[in-house]
Amino acid sequence: RTYQILARLELTFKYTSYAQIQEKALAVLHGYTDNVIQSRRKELTKTDSQNDLSENDVGQRKKVAFLDMLLQATTTDGQPLTDLEIREEVDTFMFEGHDTTTSAMSFLLGKLAKHPEVQKKVYDEVRNVFGDDPSKPATLAMLNELNYLDLVIKETLRLYPSVPMFGRKMMENHDIDGTIFPAGSNVIIMPYIMGRDPDYFEDPLEFRPERFAVETSAEKSNPYRYVPFSAGPRNCIGQKFAVAEIKSLVSKTLRHYEILPDFCEEPEKLYSEATLKNEKGVMLRLKKRSSV
């Protein structure tokens, strides 16, 4: 829809074949989410959560699942959220974090394979935090100690943002370099282009995680130069979870395997289907570590 005029406009989109494809796909997705919501609503109706306390629960703050919070939440006027409002929030958490995290993980592992010196630094850091037991479960506190891996994730997302472009609608007029953009204009922001701009990043095509460690990095000097998760009040709601998930998967993988490049490396052919992908995938080899 981004590239085709007739598909982009709501007035004409409904007459295209894309509309039928979208309708069928949404019916499957929404049907699954609605079933989850209705099933959980019935369970909560059967159970009086206020009376569901054991002696061990007294004085402790009870952990509540995200869906339960939505089902029990109310609006400012005291009304419960509608099923549609709940579904929109659940859809965001269930579906928007899958392809994006997969994309980031693929490109990150690919970069570790091509840069063994970076991989060694990450592996050494992982061993310092987790010790020599590869089966040791990760905790959030442990993941937060993986500072160098943080830099590697940022550098990967600079070159390969999971969402290479996203849109925003201007709510008021803006004067940018003498050009007036009226309120209501749709603007496309391209993290992929920004991350490879030499005005923002020195030697932009060089994979150098340490660039994010310095105080003069583009991220710190101007947070709107580095926007793989967008920025401002409408930034990615799952940003911290995504980073923790990537750290958990990478640390687990490196404790068991050394990541090696494919025997036949082919040039990258990137394309976007909402998320950034390589045409032939990211081909890797895994070598089991002798200590495992």
**Binding-site residues, please?**
236
* 166-171: Cβ within 8 A, 24+ apart: 166/191, 166/230, 168/234
Beta-sheet strands, E only, within the chain: 166-169, 174-176, 179-181, 186-189, 257-261, 270-273, 275-278, 284-288
For residue 147, give the amino acid letter: N
By C-alpha distance, which of 246, 260, 229 is closest to 111?
260
Residue found by looking up tokens 């070159």 in the block: 159
Contact indicator for 158, 226 with CB cutoff of 8 Å: yes
By C-alpha distance, which of 63, 105, 110 is closest to 248?
105
Q: Which positions make up the binding site for heme?
A: 236
Contact indicator for 122, 266 with CB cutoff of 8 Å: no
* Rounded CA Rg of the chain: 23
Could you give the CA distance from residue 285 to residue 128 in angstroms, rounded to a whole number?
25
By C-alpha distance, which of 62, 8, 4 is closest to 186?
8
Which stretch of DSSP H or E encloses residue 259? strand 257-261
Angle at the Cα of 228 from the Cα atoms of 227 and 230, rounded to 5 degrees: 55
